[in-house]
Amino acid sequence: MKRFLIVLAILLTASPAMAGEWASGPWATNWNGGDARYLNESDNLSDVDSAATAFDFIKQAATTSYTGVVELATDAEAQALVSTSVVLAPSNLAAVTSTEARPGIIELATAAEVVTGTDAVRAVTPAGGSGAYLDEASNLSDVDSAATARTNLGLGTAAVEDATTFAQVANNGTDYTAGTFLTNMGFSAFVKTTISAADAAAFYTLVVQGASTTDAGAVRLSTDPEALGLTRTNTAVTPSNLGAMTSTTTQKGINTNTTTSDAGDATNTENLTPAAAYAAALGTKWVILDAVPAETVNSTHEKDECYVVWPESGTWNLVAIEAHSLTAATAGTLTVNLYNATDSQNLLSTAITIDVNETDSATAAAPRVIDTAHDDVTAGDVLFPVISVAGDGYGCQIRAGFQKQ
C-alpha cells in the first residue's frame, strides 16, 4: 500500500495533465469510494434524499427556555387561546377579536360612538364614557339641558320656583292672607279679624267631610261614656276607650278569659272558654297518698313504700298539689316529690317542702313548682311519693288534684 501511494505521488508530480484528469475526470465522481450514502460537501445538502425528512431530524422546537423552530397558528388556534406550540402572525391577531363568548383584541370607542349607543364591537373607557354618562357625584348638574330634563320628568315650571312661592305644611296655613284665601274659597262670610267658636265649627263643617260607611273623612274621638253607650256612629273608639269597656251584668264590654283552674270558682267573673267550661264540668279529681302513717316519725324512702294507680281514661294534668304533716318538725325541712313510675319522671320541678315548726306546705317559704312538661297522667300510670328529706315530724300525707285535658 505504501508503495502504491509513493507511485501515485510521483505520477501526479511528473504529469500535471494527469493530475487534472484525476480531479475532473471519471475518478472525481468516485472519490467518495463509489458509495452513494455519502454527500458531497460542495452540494450544501442539496443531494439529501428528502429535505423535509432531514429537517425533521435536525430541527429543535422553540420553548420558553430555548430558541428553535415554530409552526404558525391557524385563526381557530389563535382564537382558542390554548396552544403553546404555535405562534401568531399579524393576520392571526386580526382574527382574535373580543366577543361576548371569548376574550380578545378590541378597539376603543370614541365619545361620539359611546353617545350613539349602537356599536357592539368596541369598548368604552372612562374617558370615552365621561361625555355620555352622568356623574353620580354631580347630582344631575351635568345634564346637557336642565330645562329639557325637567320637561322629560314632567316637572314643568314648579321645579324652578322659590320654596316661598308655595304654602309650607309646617306653617299650618299662615302662608296665606286669611281674608283673600277665604274669599277665594267662597267663604267670604268668615272674613273677620277674629272668629267665634260657632263660626269656627260652621267653617269646619263646611270644609271638612265627615267619615261614613261609604266615604272617608274626618271623625271625632269618643269619650268613654260614648264608647260604653255603643250607639254613636260618628265617633271613633280608641284603645283607651276599650280599656274602660269592662263587661258587667249590666254592661256589654271586654273581659279576660279564665284559667281552667279557676273555672269552678263561683265568684270568678272572667270569660269562660270552652276548655275552661269542660274542665269545670269534669271538676278536679283528687288523690290522697299517705306517704308516712300518722303515728310514725317521718323518714326518707323511695318509690315503693306506697303508690296509687291512676284509674281515669284520657289525659289528666296535675293542677294542684300540697303535703301535710300531722306533727310539725322541730328540725329538718320535710321535702317530698310525686314520681310517675310509668314515665320515669317527677311531676314537680321544685319539690314540696314543709318548713320547721309548720304542718302544711301551703305556707312554705319556697313553693313547689309543677313541671308542665311532665305533669300529665293516663290510665294505668303508677304514682309514688318520694321523701328526700324527712325532718323529725310525724305523718306525711300528699293531696294532688288533676283535671282532664
pLDDT confidence of residue 399? 94
Q: Which residue has the cell 288533676?
A: 402
pLDDT confidence of residue 351? 95
Which helix (H) or strand (E) segment is 128 a member of? helix 126-129
Q: What is the mean pLDDT of residues 160-170?
A: 77
Query: Would you say 405 and 368 are in contact if contact means Cβ atoms under 8 Å apart?
Result: no
pLDDT over 90 (residue 69): no
Query: What phi and psi, each to the nearest 5 degrees, are found at residue 61?
Result: -70, 140
The full DSSP string for 172-196 is TTTTS-HHHHHHHTT-GGG-SSS--
Q: Are strands 376-378 and 315-324 parallel, antiparallel or unpaired?
A: antiparallel
pLDDT over 60 (residue 16): no
pLDDT over 50 (residue 86): yes
Q: Which residue has the cell 296535675?
A: 318
**How many residues does this entry show for the chain?**
405
pLDDT over 50 (residue 1): no
CB atoms within 10 A of CB 181: 14
Task: Tell me if 226 is assigned to some domain.
Answer: no
Q: What is the mean pLDDT of residues 272-280?
A: 67
Least trusted range by pLDDT, from 155-169, 282-296, 298-312, 358-372: 155-169
Q: How far is CA 175 from the centre of its chain?
A: 49
CB atoms within 10 A of CB 404: 17
- Cα(219)–Cα(40) distance, rounded to whole angstroms? 122
Task: Tell me if 77 is assigned to some domain.
Answer: no
Q: What is the mean pLDDT of residues 205-234?
A: 80
- Its domain, for residue 343, covers 278-404
Count the alpha carbons within 13 Å of 305 in the hemisphere toward its beta carbon.
18
pLDDT over 50 (residue 47): yes
Max CA separation in the chain (angstroms) = 165
Task: Tell me if 379 is assigned to some domain.
Answer: yes
Which helix (H) or strand (E) segment is 389 a member of? strand 382-389
Q: What is the mean pLDDT of residues 299-311?
A: 79
CB atoms within 10 A of CB 161: 10
Extract the C-alpha cell encoding 36: 452513494
- Cα(344)–Cα(351) distance, rounded to whole angstroms? 16
pLDDT over 90 (residue 39): no
Task: Tell me if 150 is assigned to some domain.
Answer: no
pLDDT confidence of residue 88? 80
> For the purposes of burial, counting CB atoms within 10 Å of the CB of 119, is it exposed (0-12), middle (13-18) or buried (19 or more)?
middle
- Cα(171)–Cα(185) distance, rounded to whole angstroms? 19
Q: Label residue 337 by pLDDT band (50, 70, 90).
A: very high
Number of domains in the chain: 1
Q: Label residue 128 by pLDDT band (50, 70, 90).
A: low
Extract the C-alpha cell encoding 124: 368604552
| Of 393 and 78, the one with more pLDDT | 393
| Of 346 and 237, the one with more pLDDT | 346
Q: What is the mean pLDDT of residues 94-104?
A: 79
- Cα(235)–Cα(222) distance, rounded to whole angstroms? 5
pLDDT over 50 (residue 251): yes
Question: What percent of the chain is modeled with pLDDT above 90?
Answer: 22
Question: What percent of the chain is modeled with pLDDT above 70?
Answer: 78
- Computed over every residue of the chain, the mean pLDDT equals 78
pLDDT confidence of residue 275? 67
Q: Which residue has the cell 366577543?
A: 99
Task: Tell me if 114 is assigned to some domain.
Answer: no
pLDDT over 70 (residue 322): yes
Task: Tell me if 130 is assigned to some domain.
Answer: no
Query: Would you say 270 and 286 are in contact if contact means Cβ atoms under 8 Å apart?
Result: no
Task: Tell me if 88 is assigned to some domain.
Answer: no
Q: How confident is the model over 132-157, as pLDDT tens digits?
A: 677 778 888 878 788 888 888 887 77
Residue 382: CATH number of its domain: 2.60.120
